[in-house]
Amino acid sequence: MLRLEKITKIYPTGEVLKDINWEVKTGERIGLVGVNGAGKSTQLKIIQGEVEPTSGNIIRPNGMHIAALNQEFEVDPRRTVREEFWTVFTEADKIQKALADLPVKMESADPDELEQLIHQLDKKQRQFEALDGYGLEARIEKILPEMGFDSDAGERLVSSYSGGWQMRMGLGKVLLQSPDLLLLDEPTNHLDLETIEWLETYLKGLSIPMVIISHDREFLDRLCTSIVETERGVSTTYLGNYSAYLTQKAENQVAQMSTYERQQKELAKQQTFVDKFRASATRSTQAKSREKQLAKIERIEAPTADLRGLQFQFQPAPRSGREVVTIADMTHTYGDKILFLGASLEVERGDRIAFVGPNGAGKSTLLRLITGSEKADDGTVQLGAHNVLPGYFEQNQAEALNLAKTVMDTIHDEVPDWTNEEVRTLLGRFLFSGDAAFKKVEALSGGEKARLALAKMLLQPANLLILDEPTNHLDIPAKEMLENALKNYDGTALIVSHDRYFISQVANKIVELRDGELRLYRGDYRYYLDKVAEEKERVHLEAIEAQKAEKAAEKRQKQREKQAEKRKAQATTKG
């Protein structure tokens, strides 16, 4: 359906894409992966025609329509939901608005004006029909419930909906364009778990081929049929989902290293022969012949070092007491909304708790209550009495960085006794290598700022880590580095994250924010999912039993009424 052949892209700052070759076929869902800056978004822009490749070809059918759902959903908060969907059909939308305005003008028009307005109305009506306006209207009414909007939603303002629902509007607008190929650039950013799962289910049901950029490994695992990795400007295609890609890549690296080592051994053996007999009177001819053969051999490259090998360890901190955080009968409101109502929770040393719940449930507020930067309306929220040293990473912590400083200076200020080499080593672990260490903070991308802010915060010794969306803007290798560090961390961690894969790797307990309560599940994310599924099944069975009981009660009542009528009729007959 669409193929990229030998694509390169060179910017004034350097070469981003060196040798890109991959294709997407009908029914496929391709996941593009690679570190931040690898050129994933550049490839999407090349496919859309927004960026011209330096060399290479994009092969696609004539008339192919490509639509994209970008990271920022382009919606106008002043419009109604229905008006927002209509903006997809620009010309028909203008005519429809004119058709709505003309009858209003006709009410106050004089006879001459009225005749002109009638002609205009007739003309606009025919233009609207020529554009299949009523068919477009039907398509919009059909897409509304598909995106989860109820019958009254069309007249509500876009501004009355959360970011997750605005994403649904953005997706609906893309699908109304009837694309032949759908491009998705970080579609799960800032969505809560419930909305992400809805999006996965919906996209799985579509037959449209897709190309997806995402750092959400669970999302890639559940959706993708192939993974295309871009590493150092070169693409490699792996069949299957994200987990299959990891397995295949590891196997390929082992095989490539084995082949590389065998060739190196053979080359060394031949070179030894050449060096030994080059000056020999009897064997110099043979040595020169082998030297020529050596020059013609195509060298096998060693496998590139895997960025996932980067390691980071938290700074040593004194051991805290067993009780780390105590929340007792806590009530708290935000505006008119009750977030917590008599909520309680005990956090013990060594807990790695992930807080889950929909956007707006109060997860970030809860972390602020624990740090003491916000006070509960009622009840108690307090740190343990013995030696608890908290470290807090906020979602907007990257915004607090000093833009005028370099990356190097930002870290040096936190650990002034470290050598330059020690600071460079740490920055390398957070993927700031080479000249990147000397960049000004103001020149960094959002993801780079997030990594730097996280590195800065984690340098301070803490036995209680409070992390609010720590993986936002992190690429996959950086996430894996943080996961490994948390797994080996002997303190306590409280985490808010929408990254299910990350939660499944690091959390040993889950707390769900539901109906004003803090519901503790004493197990990992898989245990939590199983328990929630059991609860839903139990509620479903109880609802069925209740329905059966209600029908049985209705049946008994009807039988009693029937018997009463029968007795009444018999009494009347006897009388």
Which residues are within 8 A (CB) of 26 and not within 5 positions of it... i.e. 6 or more apart?
Answer: 1, 209
Fold of 323-529: Rossmann fold (3.40.50)
> Residue 397 has what pLDDT?
72
Contact 254, 262 (CB under 8 A): no
DSSP string, 104-161: HHHHT--HHHHHHHHHHHHHHHHHHHHTTHHHHHHHHHHHHHHTT--TTGGGSBGGGS
Phi/psi zone of residue 55: left (φ > 0), alpha (ψ -120 to 50 degrees), beta? beta
Using 50 as the pLDDT threshold, list the residues of the chain that sit under it. Answer: 307-309
> Residue 313 has what pLDDT?
78
> Residue 73 has what pLDDT?
66
Which among 491, 492, 490, 486 has a CA at the least distance from the CA of 471? 486
Give the Å distances, CA to CA, from 146 to 165, 172, 200, 202.
12, 8, 14, 9
The pTM for the full model equals 0.74
Which among 367, 396, 389 has a CA at the least distance from the CA of 466? 367
Which residues are within 8 A (CB) of 434 and not within 5 positions of it... i.e. 6 or more apart?
Answer: none
Which residues are within 8 A (CB) of 441 and not within 5 positions of it... i.e. 6 or more apart?
Answer: 401, 402, 403, 404, 405, 406, 407, 410, 449, 452
Which among 313, 307, 315, 316 has a CA at the least distance from the CA of 428? 307
Tokens standing for residue 428: 């390398």
Tokens standing for residue 12: 């004034």
> Residue 403 has what pLDDT?
92
The rounded mean pLDDT for the chain is 88
Tokens standing for residue 498: 């929408």
346 phi/psi in degrees, rounded to 5: -115, 125
What is the number of residues in the chain? 575
Sheet strand arrangement including 181-185: 55-59, 2-11, 14-24, 234-239, 226-231, 29-33, 210-213, 181-185, 66-69
Contact 408, 437 (CB under 8 A): yes
Which CATH number is correct for 1-64+180-240, 3.30.1440.10, 3.90.1660.10, 3.40.50.300, 2.60.120.640? 3.40.50.300
Tokens standing for residue 130: 């020529």
Q: What angle do CA 160, 164, 168 make, to 5 degrees?
A: 90
- Residue recorded with tokens 């993708």: 224
Which among 185, 200, 198, 190 has a CA at the least distance from the CA of 147? 198
Give the other-Cβ count within 10 Å of 373's Cβ: 10
> Residue 71 has what pLDDT?
62
| Shared fold status for 1-64+180-240 and 323-529 | yes
Tokens standing for residue 410: 């930002």
Which among 209, 178, 237 has a CA at the least distance from the CA of 4? 237
Q: How many CA atoms lie within 13 A of 222 on its CB side?
A: 17
Spans of all domains in the chain: 1-64+180-240, 75-163, 245-299, 323-529, 532-574
Which residues are within 8 A (CB) of 204 and not within 5 positions of it... i.e. 6 or more apart?
Answer: 222, 223
